[in-house]
């Protein structure tokens, strides 16, 4: 057993997270039901978003509340480039990565230049997401409220379009692995130490010569770019996007629940958080049936509220405590 490697908390998390992804992929391969594949793909998407978010929202301690801007932008980049210009969706993933990264950079530039406080930064990001929504709602090229749709009638790997749900699952999991690796790399790198320093005490970090602005900018850009890439994939998967859907504040908060309840300083937190919460949401809704949606809202809200109150640092903090006991302090 690779006791040495696993005795490091981050390594252990990486192993567990990747292991989980592999098992999920295997499970999906044998799953007969489209219904579960559908739920699993959405869960994987949420997990990837959550893990990407923690780079800026967890590790840097930034109150990046309006995160869906990047996701929605990525979705539209793919939707419009693919349907209007025939740009290959795989390429769109990269373009969305760059585009969302650019948006993130602009946000960082503006907010740092104007020295926005934490709360205001949070509200700025939320307001921006809604500005993007209204911009798309009023832009003819983007289809306004009618949105963008794709028609997929056969499997075509070259254009990331499938009739079967399984390829979507594999690609979603692959994207999730990429995000997990980026998160891991950040945590193990010098950049990760800088983020931690800035998170703990921005002023002390500055006194030590760390350019906190630059560090925060890098974090936001990386976080946003990854979300954009996942958003582009989402467009291919859902085959229909409109502004209210991909810039929805409700979805925005749902995506943050995974990392917050799972543990936003960890790697496994957002992954397992989303893996648990998103299917819970979909299955609960399926169970309770169409009209019991009101009951579902009450239950779901209660789960959230209690979860956040009882697990403020997220479940991962307990796992970390166990890990420390099991492997001793490295």
Partner 1 sequence: MNHVRSKPNKPHASRRQFVKASAAAAAVAALPGGLAFAQANEIKIGFLLPLTGSFAEAGQLNKQAVEMAVDEINRAGGVKSLKGAKIVPLFANATSVDEANTETTRLISRERVTGIIGAYSSGSTISSTVIAERSSVPYLVPNALADEITARGLKYVFKTVPHFSQFATNAAEMVLQLSENAKRELKTCCLVRENNFFGNVVGREFAKYMPGFRIQILKDNIFPTNPTSFEDVILSLRRDSPDVVFAAGEPSSITLLFKQLSELRYWPKLGWVGLGGGYTNPITWGNLGKLADGLIVVNDWFPDIKLPGAREANERFRKRTGKDMLGNSNTTYAGVHIFKAALEKAGSTEGPKIRDALAGLDLVDGPQTFMYERVKFDPTGFMNRTTLVGAQVKGGQAKVIWPTAVRVADAAWPVPDWSKRT
Partner 2 sequence: MPAEVIFQSLLLGILQGGVYALVACGLTLIYGVMKVVNFAHAEFLTLGMYLAIAAWTAGGVSPYVSALFIFALVCALGAAAQALVIRPALKHPQINQMLVTIGVSTMMIGAMQLAWGPNNLVLSLPWSGATFDAWGVRLSYVRTIAFLVAVLIAGAFWLFLKHAKTGMAMRAASQNPVAARLMGISVQRVNLITFGVGTGLAALAGALIAPAFFVNPTFGTDYFILAAFVIVVLGTMGNFIGALVGGLVIGVAEGLGGLLLGPALRQMVSLALFIVVLLALPRGLFRGKMT
Q: Residue 53: which of 40, 71, 38 has the closest Cα?
A: 71
Q: How far apart, in whole angstroms, are the C-alpha atoms of residue 320 and residue 315?
A: 9
Q: Minimum Å distance from CB 68 to partner 1?
A: 14
Q: How far apart, in whole angstroms, are the C-alpha atoms of residue 68 and residue 231?
A: 9
* Residue bearing tokens 């075509």: 156
Site string for partner 2, 195-234 (x = CB under 8 A): ----------------------------------------
Instruction: Map residue 154 onto helix, strand or coil.
Output: coil
Q: How far is CA 95 from CA 9, 109, 141, in A?
A: 34, 21, 18
Residue 232 as a binder of partner 1 (CB under 8 A): the answer is no
Q: Minimum Å distance from CB 242 to partner 2?
A: 15
Q: Residue 70: which of 151, 118, 148, 125 has the closest Cα?
A: 125
122 binds, among partner 1, partner 2, none (CB under 5 to 8 A by kind): partner 2
Part in contact with partner 1 (CB under 8 A); list of ranges 97-105, 169-177, 188-196, 237-245: 237-245
Task: Give, as ranges, the residues between 257 and 316 that touch partner 2 (CB under 8 A).
Answer: 257, 260, 264, 293-309, 312
Instruction: Map residue 33 onto helix, strand or coil.
Output: coil
Question: For the chain, what is the radius of gyration of the CA atoms?
Answer: 20
DSSP calls for 164-193: SSHHHHHHHHHHHHHHHHHHHHHHHSHHHH
- Among 11, 130, 159, 251, which residue sits at the site for partner 2 (rule: CB under 8 A)? 130
**Which residues sit opposite 240 in a β-bridge?**
149
Q: How far apart, in whole angstroms, are the C-alpha atoms of residue 251 and residue 244?
A: 10
Closest CB to partner 1 among 115 and 290? 290
Residue 131 as a binder of partner 1 (CB under 8 A): the answer is no
Closest CB to partner 2 among 78 and 254? 254
Part in contact with partner 1 (CB under 8 A); list of ranges 105-113, 118-126, 139-147, 189-197: 139-147
Q: Minimum Å distance from CB 266 to partner 2?
A: 14
Task: Give, as ranges, the residues between 87 and 126 that touch partner 2 (CB under 8 A).
Answer: 110-111, 114-120, 122-124, 126
Task: List contacts with partner 2 (CB under 8 A).
Answer: 57, 63, 65, 110-111, 114-120, 122-124, 126-128, 130-131, 134-135, 137-138, 253, 256-257, 260, 264, 293-309, 312
């Amino acid at each position: 057993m690779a006791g040495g490697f696993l005795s490091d908390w981050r390594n252990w998390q990486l192993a567990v997270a990747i292991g989980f992804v592999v098992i999920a992929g295997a499970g999906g391969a044998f799953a007969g039901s489209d219904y579960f594949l559908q739920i699993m793909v959405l869960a994987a998407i949420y997990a990837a978003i959550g893990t990407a978010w923690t780079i800026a929202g967890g590790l840097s301690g930034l109150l990046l509340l309006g995160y869906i801007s990047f996701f929605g932008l990525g979705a539209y980049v793919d939707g419009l480039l693919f349907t209007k210009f025939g740009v290959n969706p795989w390429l769109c993933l990269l373009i969305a990565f760059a585009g969302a990264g650019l948006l993130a950079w602009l946000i960082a530039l503006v907010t740092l230049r104007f020295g926005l406080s934490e709360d205001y930064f949070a509200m700025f990001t939320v307001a921006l997401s809604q500005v993007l929504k209204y911009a798309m709602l009023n832009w003819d090229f983007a289809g306004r409220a009618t949105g963008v749709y794709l028609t997929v009638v056969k499997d075509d790997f070259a254009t990331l379009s499938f009739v079967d749900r399984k390829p979507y699952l594999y690609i979603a999991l692959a994207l999730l692995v990429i995000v997990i690796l980026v998160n891991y790399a950040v945590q193990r790198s010098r950049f990760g130490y800088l983020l931690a320093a800035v998170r703990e005490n921005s002023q002390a970090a500055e006194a030590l010569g760390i350019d906190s602005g630059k560090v925060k900018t890098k974090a936001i850009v990386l976080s946003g770019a990854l979300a954009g890439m996942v958003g582009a994939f989402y467009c291919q998967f859902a085959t229909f996007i409109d502004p209210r859907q991909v810039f929805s504040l409700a979805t925005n908060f749902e995506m943050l629940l995974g990392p917050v309840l799972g543990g936003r300083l960890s790697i496994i937190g957002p992954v397992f958080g989303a893996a648990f919460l998103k299917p819970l949401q979909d299955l609960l809704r399926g169970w309770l049936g169409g009209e019991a949606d009101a009951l579902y809202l009450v239950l779901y809200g209660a789960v959230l509220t209690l979860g956040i109150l009882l697990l403020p640092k997220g479940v991962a903090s307990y796992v970390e405590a166990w890990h420390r006991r099991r492997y001793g302090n490295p």
